[in-house]
Amino acid sequence: MKSEELAVGAALMEPQVGASLTLSDVTKRFGGVAAVSELSLQIAPGELLGVIGPNGAGKSTLLSMVNAAQHPTHGEIVLDGKHQIHRMRTHQAARLGIARAHQIPRPFPRMSVRENLLVASHSTGKHGSAQRGRVDAILEECGLLERSEQPAGSLTLLNLKRLEVARALALNPRLLLLDEVAAGLVTHEIDEITELIRAVHSQGVTIMLVEHVQALVHALAQRVVVLDFGRQIAEGTPAEIAQDADVIRIYLGSGDAGAARRTPTADAQAKEELLRCTELGVQYGKLRALHSVDFEVGTGEVVAVLGANGSGKTTLARTLMGMVAPIAGRIAFEGTDVTGLPTHKRARAGIALCHEGRRLFGGMTVRENLDLATFSRASSEHHDVLLERVYKLFPLLEKRTDSYAGELSGGQQQMVAIARALMSDPKLVIFDELSLGLAPTVIDEIYQAIEQIRGWQIGVILIEQNAYRALAIADRAYVLERGNVTYVGSPEPLEDPETLRAAYFGGVAASRQAQHQNEEEKG
Q: What single DSSP character describes residue 151?
A: B
Residue range(s) in the chain whose domain bears CATH number 3.40.50.300:
2-252, 254-262+271-347+475-523
Say if residues 194 and 136 touch (Cβ distance below 8 Å).
Answer: no
- Dist CA 434 CA 321 (whole Å): 17
Residue 485 Cα to chain centre, angstroms: 16
Strand pairing category for 336-337 and 328-333: antiparallel
According to the model, what pLDDT value does residue 234 have?
93
**Furthest CA-CA distance within the chain:** 82
Nearest to 478 by CA among 501, 503, 453: 503
Predicted confidence at residue 250, as pLDDT, reads 74
pLDDT at 124: 61
User: Cα–Cα distance between 420 and 506 in angstroms, integer?
Assistant: 37
Residue 123: per-residue pLDDT:
66
Q: How confident is the prediction along the chain (523 residues), in pLDDT tens digits per residue?
A: 455 444 434 444 445 678 999 999 999 998 877 899 999 999 999 999 999 987 778 899 999 999 999 999 999 999 999 999 999 999 999 999 999 999 888 899 999 999 999 988 876 656 667 778 889 999 999 999 999 999 999 998 899 999 999 999 999 999 999 998 988 777 788 889 999 999 999 999 999 999 877 788 999 999 999 998 889 999 999 989 888 888 877 776 654 444 455 555 444 455 789 999 999 999 988 788 899 999 999 999 999 999 877 788 989 999 999 999 999 999 999 999 999 999 999 998 999 999 877 788 888 898 988 888 886 554 455 788 888 899 999 998 888 899 888 887 778 888 889 999 999 889 999 998 887 766 667 788 888 999 999 999 999 999 987 788 889 899 999 999 888 898 888 888 887 777 777 666 554 433 444 444 444 444 4
Per CATH, the number for 254-262+271-347+475-523 is: 3.40.50.300
C-alpha to C-alpha distance for 485 and 290, rounded to whole angstroms: 9
Contact at 8 Å (CB) between 196 and 165? yes
28 burial (CB, 10 Å; 0-12 / 13-18 / 19+) is buried
Rg (CA), the chain: 25
Residue 497 CB partners (closer than 8 Å, separation 6+): 255
Q: Can you give the pLDDT at residue 369?
A: 85
Residues forming beta bridges with residue 288, ordered by sequence position: 283
DSSP secondary structure code for residue 355 in this structure: -
CB 373 within 8 A of CB 421: yes
Check residue 10 and give its pLDDT.
45
The CATH class of the 2-252 domain is: alpha beta
In 343-442, the DSSP E strands lie at: 351-354, 428-432
Q: How many helices (H) and strands (E) does the chain have?
A: 20, 20
CA distance 181 to 412: 37
CA 406, CA 409: separation in Å to the nearest integer? 8
Q: What's the pLDDT at 508? A: 42
Cβ atoms < 10 Å from Cβ of 356: 19
Neighbours of 284 (CB within 10 A): 12
DSSP-assigned states of every residue in 17-42: PPPPEEEEEEEEEETTEEEEEEEEEE
**283: helix, coil or strand?**
strand
What is the pLDDT at residue 444? 84
Report DSSP letters for 241-270, one per residue: HHH-HHHHHHHH--TTGGGGPPPPPTTGGG
